[in-house]
Amino acid sequence: MAKPMSESLQRRMNDSEYKNWIKLGQGLKIFNDSIIPLCEVVINDFHEYLKESTTTGKEGESCKCEAGKEPMCGVCMPWKTEILDKSTIKTSEIIWDNIDPKKWPTHMWEVAKTYMNSGLKPGDDYKPDSSSLLNLMLNCKLFPKELTGKRIRKILEIRNKLMHSNMNMSNESFKDFLNHIQSTLDAVCNIYKTDKKFEKYKNETLQYKRDAVKLLKVHLEIIDGKSVEAGYESANDIENGVIKQYFSELKEKLKRMEDKSDENADRLQKTLEDFSKKNDDLERMLKSLISEVIELCKQKAINVSGDNNIVVVGSTNVSITYN
């Protein structure tokens, strides 16, 4: 049997819209975890193709292109042509700030960054995150047709809605969003089950990915306080994971602002401080992370530059914009 809810969690779960928010957050966590091996296989296969078919970028060849700038040298151009041929967006929309083209021949994720959103740094050891992977799937033609276009755009929309909300979601939006997460997750699981590319990945980790639809169903039951078999996370652990993810993404977005300021950051700070005071059990578990986010808010509020298009806070809502 799963562990019972704590008293403080039961109090929060009496708010149906907060419960909706937690359920959607967990749905996205499971979905995001499930697409990582898919993206790794697609990009690795493409990178192997590029190394075999592209005559430049071999060992000993020197590229003179600058990291963070659109590549124009003779070594990079054949790679650039092939990579852009698989892009669904215009060359003018590519975020060259993300990329070090000298590393295209040796680092598959440096190739993948060509299709990703802003905020990444050229040459860094890339660690897959959900926002950049979703943009990769949206902007690269190599992914299965079941996972492109409107389907992925709506997943990105759901992410934005969750981050723009005040940790709540209406019943109407919840039903629509959950149905979309479940159907798209089902499509991912079917690809793992039927695509021969994944036969060599038949291991315990991928088996979990194949069963992700079932896992989400069980986790939703746990959040509802229903009894389930042993071996699953408790409702407390699920909520803790969703909240941790929420604050971690706020933290990363604020850090990516670098020297930019925002006139609304002080209100974001106050909203987060109020959340911490009302939920001391979560504050104790995530004290360091919450403190980091609040401190970043203070820094962004000190020297207001008028650039207020990155973090937007309403009178009560915490919100953050994803590309």
**1 domain residue, yes or no:** no
**Domain boundary, last residue among 193, 223, 253:** 223
Supply the pLDDT for residue 35.
Answer: 92
Mean pLDDT for all residues in the chain: 83
**318 domain residue, yes or no:** no
Residue-range definition of the domain harbouring residue 243: 236-302
Task: Tell me: do 168 and 28 sit in the same domain.
Answer: yes
Side chain identity, residue 157 = E
Six token digits for residue 317 = 């809502």
Least confident residue range of 149-153, 155-159, 271-275, 276-280:
271-275
Supply the pLDDT for residue 209.
Answer: 65
Phi and psi at residue 304, to the nearest 5°: -70, 125
Task: Tell me: do 199 and 264 sit in the same domain.
Answer: no
**320 domain residue, yes or no:** no
Three-class SS of the chain: CCCCCCHHHHHHHCCHHHHHHHHHHHHHHHHHHHHHHHHHHHHHHHHHHHHHHCCCCCCCCCCCCCCCCCCCCCCCHHHHHHHHHCECCCHHHCCHHHCCHHHCCCCHHHHHHHHCCCCCCCCCCCCCCHHHHHHHHHHECCCCHHHCCHHHHHHHHHHHHHHHCCCCCCHHHHHHHHHHHHHHHHHHHHHHHHCHHHHHHCCHHHHHHHCHHHHHHHHHHHHCCCCCCCCCCCHHHHHHHHHHHHHHHHHHHHHHCCCCCCCCHHHHHHHHHHHHHHCHHHHHHCHHHHHHHHHHHHHHHHCCCCCCCCECCCCCCCCECCC
Supply the pLDDT for residue 319.
Answer: 39
Percent of the chain with pLDDT over 70: 84
Six token digits for residue 169 = 């979601």
**Domain boundary, last residue among 201, 223, 245:** 223
Per-residue pLDDT, averaged over 316-321, amounts to 38
Task: Tell me: do 174 and 88 sit in the same domain.
Answer: yes
Band of pLDDT at residue 110, cut at 50, 70 and 90: very high
Task: Tell me: do 21 and 136 sit in the same domain.
Answer: yes
Task: Tell me: do 163 and 27 sit in the same domain.
Answer: yes
* CA dist 62 → 51, 65, 84, 103 (Å): 16, 9, 22, 11
- Residue 22, Cβ neighbours under 10 Å: how many? 27
pLDDT digits (tens, 9 = 90+) for 78-107: 999 999 999 999 989 999 999 999 999 999
Supply the pLDDT for residue 309.
Answer: 32
pLDDT digits (tens, 9 = 90+) for 7-24: 888 889 999 999 999 999
Supply the pLDDT for residue 259.
Answer: 53
The highest-confidence range among 40-49, 291-300, 303-312, by mean pLDDT, is 40-49
Supply the pLDDT for residue 261.
Answer: 56
**121 domain residue, yes or no:** yes
**Domain boundary, last residue among 166, 192, 223:** 223
pLDDT digits (tens, 9 = 90+) for 211-236: 888 889 999 999 998 877 767 888 99
Q: How many CA atoms lie within 13 A of 316 on its CB side?
A: 4
Q: Do 320 and 267 meet the contact criterion of CB atoms below 8 Å apart?
A: no
Supply the pLDDT for residue 317.
Answer: 38
Q: Which residue has the higher pLDDT, 305 or 254?
A: 254
Find, among 310, 287, 285, the residue nearest to 297 by Cα.
Answer: 310
pLDDT digits (tens, 9 = 90+) for 158-179: 998 998 787 899 999 999 999 9
Q: Do 273 and 294 meet the contact criterion of CB atoms below 8 Å apart?
A: yes
Task: Tell me: do 59 and 205 sit in the same domain.
Answer: yes
Task: Tell me: do 95 and 196 sit in the same domain.
Answer: yes
Task: Tell me: do 202 and 291 sit in the same domain.
Answer: no
Domain count, the chain: 2
Task: Tell me: do 183 and 259 sit in the same domain.
Answer: no
Task: Tell me: do 135 and 270 sit in the same domain.
Answer: no
Percent of the chain with pLDDT over 90: 44
**2 domain residue, yes or no:** no
Side chain identity, residue 308 = N
Task: Tell me: do 204 and 274 sit in the same domain.
Answer: no
**323 domain residue, yes or no:** no
Per-residue pLDDT, averaged over 197-202, amounts to 67
Cα–Cα distance, 277 to 144 (Å, whole number): 46
Band of pLDDT at residue 321, cut at 50, 70 and 90: very low
Task: Tell me: do 243 and 195 sit in the same domain.
Answer: no
